[in-house]
Amino acid sequence: MERAVVMTGIGGQGIQLIAKLLAQAGIAEGRQVMTFGIFGGMIRGGSSEATVVIGDEEIVTPPIVPKIWAVLAMHPEGLPKLAPKVEADGVLVANTNLVTKIPDWNGVRVVAVPATDLAQEIGQPLGASMVALGALAAATGLVGVDALGAALADVLPPHRRQHVDANRRCVVRGAEHVAQGEHHR
């Protein structure tokens, strides 16, 4: 099994961080992983996209991924260009607080997550991307939610390590949202 996941959003939403976290969780589970990010020169507000490929065997996908199995969308900006690449049996996890018009991609399962609201509800307004990543993990089983939580300490930079527990709560909240069946559209 080899799965390509694209995370898309804008700078400041933690897209590159959650890609790194997904990759680290995959490695911790003994999987093969490749990741790469594309982002504009702005610190906040410019486009940000990251691709993570996770496989059970050596990864043969080139750096330009022709097909995408899952998309985690924190912002609608990057979605139009991804549409032709999404596989018919794929998954779209959408932060419905910002992605208000869900694309109609034939055969793609939608996991609707009000990630911004859920993060705010647990007192972590900057944790929306972690909520969405937890939802992706729970909805797909690509990596375990526990593996994501365990990888946080390895992924967060030293000046952000005090936020490990808060981010872990966000990941768990996203997974709970899916487990409770609140994500259907």
Q: Which pLDDT belongs to residue 68?
A: 95
Mean pLDDT calculated for residue range 104-114? 95
Spell out the domain ranges in the chain.
Answer: 2-179
For residue 119, give both structure tokens: 């993060």
What confidence category does residue 42 fall into, taking pLDDT thresholds of 50, 70 and 90? low
Q: Which pLDDT belongs to residue 183?
A: 65
Mean pLDDT calculated for residue range 106-113? 95
Closest CA to 72 of 17, 133, 21, 20: 133
Q: Which pLDDT belongs to residue 40?
A: 65
pLDDT in tens, 45-58: 678 899 999 999 98
Closest CA to 145 of 154, 156, 158, 136: 136
Indicate whether 6 pLDDT > 90. yes
Between 161 and 108, whose confidence is greater?
A: 108
The fold of 2-179 is Pyruvate-ferredoxin Oxidoreductase; domain 3 (3.40.920)
Q: Which pLDDT belongs to residue 160?
A: 86
Indicate whether 158 pLDDT > 90. no
Residues 6+ apart with CB under 8 A from 50: 6, 7, 15, 16, 18, 19, 20, 35, 36, 37, 38
